[in-house]
């Protein structure tokens, strides 16, 4: 197992995509703070299996007084690297040192056909009825018949008891990732159901899907499954312990499924993983991939697999041994 500081001085929340030429694209938030300030996503490329990284370009830049900190990403349509990005309008409260999040920005769709160097911004995202904003997260996945899917979540609506409510949705694209429509809730929208936000999706065969949703409350990851291409979802129960979130899926070359997730449990801050040999029906014991060795802001892993079976898992942290700055870290390992 190899571990390195990959991109320094960024809060990151990385999203990795394996490119057709064998390089790895990482879309990261480009500032060294947890979104409480201006900033935007950048695309970085590694051509040596995750050791070295070069900045390629910026999918979209933030307007003054705003950030673009939230993304979903992946290959869509004609093979273009596609990034859906939203963020926040910021508000400076008198007497406070840093600004606060004021209003969710509408997502924009960004596409690059040259490996992340140049980008075209456009497209549309349909919001669920009654939603004031919607936030993309996780990977863009390929479904049947040239359709693509992605998860997003709403925030700010008031639930039946008056609390601020989050709900995750699955959206589809029929035009190669340029526009996203037909939001379907992942899980039941009720006061008793888990309050889901950051959710990632895996396509097993184009029709069968898995979704791993971060819940509020005890902050575990809840698993959902769909047998109809994301038009309906069934709860499968928790797949992590409390304070272990959010998650990322990767279908390994041998057919197994890797689920990686951040860990913020007392005494165990870092990154963990579990592996399924039966398409998510059961999961092996947790693996402790990264140990921060101290309480730290971090997690949000994202993984790709190289031709030789090496898994490249990226994460972010603001503090690891011998490096006390925000950064994107990488661990290279094999699941054997």
DSSP assignment of 226-248 equals: ESSTTSS-EEEEESS-TTEEEEE
Residue 269, strand partner residues = 264
**Length of the chain counted residue by residue:** 336
Q: pLDDT at residue 47 above 90?
A: yes
pLDDT band at residue 160 under the 50/70/90 scheme: very low
The pLDDT of 254-283, averaged and rounded, is 97
Q: How many domains does the chain have?
A: 1
Instruction: Tell me the per-residue pLDDT of 8-34, one tens digit each, with 9 for 90 and over.
Output: 999 999 999 999 999 999 999 999 999
pLDDT of residue 164: 59
Q: pLDDT at residue 56 above 60?
A: yes
Mean pLDDT of the chain: 94
The pLDDT of 275-282, averaged and rounded, is 98
CA atoms of 195 and 33, how far apart (whole Å): 26
Q: How many CA atoms lie within 13 A of 62 on its CB side?
A: 25
Residue 316, strand partner residues = 299, 328
Q: pLDDT at residue 199 above 80?
A: yes
Q: If DSSP codes are grouped into helix, strand and coil, which group holds residue 53?
A: coil
Spacing of C-alpha 76 from chain mean position: 16
CA atoms of 68 and 121, how far apart (whole Å): 13
pLDDT above 70 coverage of the chain, percent: 96
CA atoms of 306 and 286, how far apart (whole Å): 22
CATH number at residue 153: 2.120.10.10
The pLDDT of 224-249, averaged and rounded, is 97
Q: pLDDT at residue 267 above 70?
A: yes
The pLDDT of 306-333, averaged and rounded, is 96
| Prediction pTM value | 0.96
Q: pLDDT at residue 202 above 70?
A: yes
The pLDDT of 125-143, averaged and rounded, is 95
pLDDT band at residue 121 under the 50/70/90 scheme: very high
pLDDT above 90 coverage of the chain, percent: 88
Q: pLDDT at residue 193 above 80?
A: no
Q: Which domain holds residue 136?
A: 2-333
Spacing of C-alpha 182 from chain mean position: 20
pLDDT of residue 155: 83
Q: pLDDT at residue 162 above 50?
A: no
Sheet holding 244-251, edge to edge: 244-251, 257-265, 268-276, 287-291
CA-based torsion, 287, 12, 59, 70: positive or negative: positive
Cα→Cα distances 112→12, 54, 172, Å: 20, 16, 20
SS3 content of the chain, % helix, strand, coil (to 5): 0, 55, 45
CA atoms of 189 and 210, how far apart (whole Å): 18
pLDDT of residue 114: 97
pLDDT band at residue 157 under the 50/70/90 scheme: low
The pLDDT of 218-233, averaged and rounded, is 97
pLDDT of residue 147: 97
């Amino acid at each position: 197992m190899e571990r390195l500081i990959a991109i320094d001085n960024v809060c990151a929340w990385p999203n990795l995509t394996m490119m057709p030429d064998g390089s790895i694209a990482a879309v990261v938030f480009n500032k060294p703070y947890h979104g409480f300030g201006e900033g935007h996503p950048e695309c970085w490329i590694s051509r040596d299996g995750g050791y070295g990284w070069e900045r390629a370009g910026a999918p979209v830049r933030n307007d003054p007084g705003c950030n673009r900190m939230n993304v979903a990403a992946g290959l869509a349509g004609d093979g273009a690297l596609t990034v859906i990005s939203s963020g926040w309008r910021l508000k400076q409260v008198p007497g406070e040192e840093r600004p606060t999040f004021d209003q969710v920005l509408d997502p924009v769709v960004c596409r690059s056909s040259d490996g992340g160097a140049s980008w075209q911004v456009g497209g549309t995202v349909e919001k669920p009825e009654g939603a004031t904003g919607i936030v993309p997260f996780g990977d863009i996945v390929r479904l049947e018949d040239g359709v693509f899917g992605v998860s997003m979540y709403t925030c700010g609506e008031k639930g039946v008891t008056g609390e601020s409510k989050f709900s995750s949705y699955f959206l589809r694209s029929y035009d190669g990732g340029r526009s996203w429509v037909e939001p379907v809730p992942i899980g039941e929208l009720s006061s008793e159901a888990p309050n889901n936000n950051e959710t990632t999706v895996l396509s097993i065969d184009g029709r069968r899907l898995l979704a791993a949703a971060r819940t509020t409350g005890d902050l575990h990851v809840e698993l959902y499954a769909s047998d109809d291409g994301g038009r309906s979802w069934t709860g499968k129960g928790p797949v992590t312990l409390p304070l272990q979130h959010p998650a990322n899926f990767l279908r390994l070359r041998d057919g197994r499924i890797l689920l990686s997730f951040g860990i913020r449990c007392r005494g165990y801050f870092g990154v963990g993983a579990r592996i399924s040999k039966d398409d998510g029906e059961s999961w092996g014991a947790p693996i402790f991939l990264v140990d921060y060795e101290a309480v730290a802001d971090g997690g949000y892993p994202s993984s790709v697999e190289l031709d030789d079976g090496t898994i490249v898992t990226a994460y972010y942290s603001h503090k690891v041994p011998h490096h006390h700055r925000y950064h994107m870290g990488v661990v290279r390992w094999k699941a054997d």
